[in-house]
Amino acid sequence: MSKLNSLLTGLLLTMPGLVFADTPPKDPCCGVKIFGYIDGSYNYLESDNQFISGNYDRAFDIQEDGFTLQQAALSLAYQPDKGLGGLINVILGRDALATASYGYDFLESDHIGFDILQVYGQYAIGKFTFLAGKFVTIVGVEGIDPTGDTNFSRSLLFAFATPDTHTGFRGTYAWNDKLKFILGINDGWDNIRDFSRGPTFEYGISYNPCSKLALSAQGYLGEERVVSHTASGPKGARHLLDLTASYNATDKLTIAANFDYGTQNNAFLVTGENGNASWIGLAAYLNYKFNDTWRISLRGEDFDDRNGYRTGVEQTIKELTFTIGFAPIKNVELRGETRRDFSNVYSYVDRDSGNPRKIQQSYAIEGIYKFSNS
């Protein structure tokens, strides 16, 4: 499996040397859109990919030195403005091992996974849209789909502050073209089963006062297992508040920010006691597009895991990421990235000596190919 993984990713990274013919846009067949992408990378970490606690210190970019098929994704969507519709979104690759909800792993492999990331029915009537099924979270600037992100590596907030998916019901009300409300109920963070807990409620509001500015506030409140991906053991109330803002300063320059504050009651603390845990994080982004071919992205973060509940270590982590994007043709982008994480304690592990260290440095090259029938 690892040889196949390396081969697929290696082929992806050589795509700019191939000749692609642009095909004219086509109308989706019967309104059904078919789209997806292939995402591969070469990643190098100077330290081990785990904290001294044993928890992974990154979200998806955990390959210490080598190629990875991050995701191969396919989506089928029929989402009319009125009436019944739906979407199914599946991914294959190393990232699927991290996104798969509790109680669900088809391939049972340590190197590659398969995940039905989203599958839901939809009904739209007037200003209301209702979803029932499994769908991605409403919080955060970054997402699981790499084509909507500006960096290769996911942020500290994506990795440690927020959930990935939910299974349940979601309603959206568009007051007008500037103001939207979201309200839903689901099984909690990254679960498709475990009926012994209470439900989790989601809420959100987004406001776009003008074409340049977008603001939103959203969050989750409900009962969660203290230990993730389990169906037994202690549980307690968990709350997450997420704030995002983005500003298109010019046609080329975009600035964005993301703030998260989360709490978990009855948590296992690194002190060996049970108590209330909290985490807080802030991420800032600066993206500049020179032209249709070249762009750069700069991200800076501060994540305070003051009780060690999210990373397994009582620490504050800061990180700085710089990414260059190169799109030689319409559906292909290559990204080169360098990233440095700084902890205030010795939480990383040196790969050679095994000694703890405060810094994690990484370098990566990513290739993304997108396709669509429209």
Amino acid in position 207: Y
pLDDT at 123 > cutoff 70: yes
- Residue 104 neighbours by CB under 8 Å, 6+ apart: 115, 116, 192
Query: CA 328 to CA 169: how far, in whole Å?
Result: 41
- Which residue in 281, 293, 186 sits closest to 240, CA to CA? 281
Query: Please, what is the average pLDDT of the chain?
Result: 90
Q: Note whether 61 and 153 are within 8 A (CB).
A: yes
User: Which domains, and CATH codes, for the chain?
Assistant: 2-76+124-372 (2.40.160.10)
pLDDT at 316 > cutoff 50: yes
Query: CA 20 to CA 333: how far, in whole Å?
Result: 13
Query: CA 250 to CA 314: how far, in whole Å?
Result: 40
Query: CA 11 to CA 33: how far, in whole Å?
Result: 26
Q: pTM above 0.85?
A: yes
pLDDT in tens, 20-38: 334 444 556 778 999 999 9
Query: CA 92 to CA 36: how far, in whole Å?
Result: 11
Pick the residue with more confidence: 108 or 244?
244
Give the position of tokens 């849209």. Answer: 129
Percentage of the chain surpassing pLDDT 90?
A: 79
What are the backbone angles phi and psi of residue 121, rounded to the nearest 5°? -95, 155
pLDDT in tens, 76-121: 999 999 999 999 999 999 999 999 887 665 556 677 889 999 999 9
Query: CA 158 to CA 8: how far, in whole Å?
Result: 26
Query: CA 211 to CA 217: how far, in whole Å?
Result: 18
Query: CA 42 to CA 66: how far, in whole Å?
Result: 5
Q: Note whether 236 and 226 are within 8 A (CB).
A: yes
pLDDT in tens, 177-213: 999 999 999 999 998 876 667 899 999 999 999 999 9
SS3 93: strand
HEC string for 35-62? EEEEEEEEEEECECCECCCCCECCCCCC
pLDDT in tens, 28-77: 677 899 999 999 999 999 999 999 999 999 999 999 999 999 999 999 99
302-339: string of b/e by CB count within 10 Å (b at 16+)? bbbbebbbbbbbbbebebebebebebeeebbbbbebeb
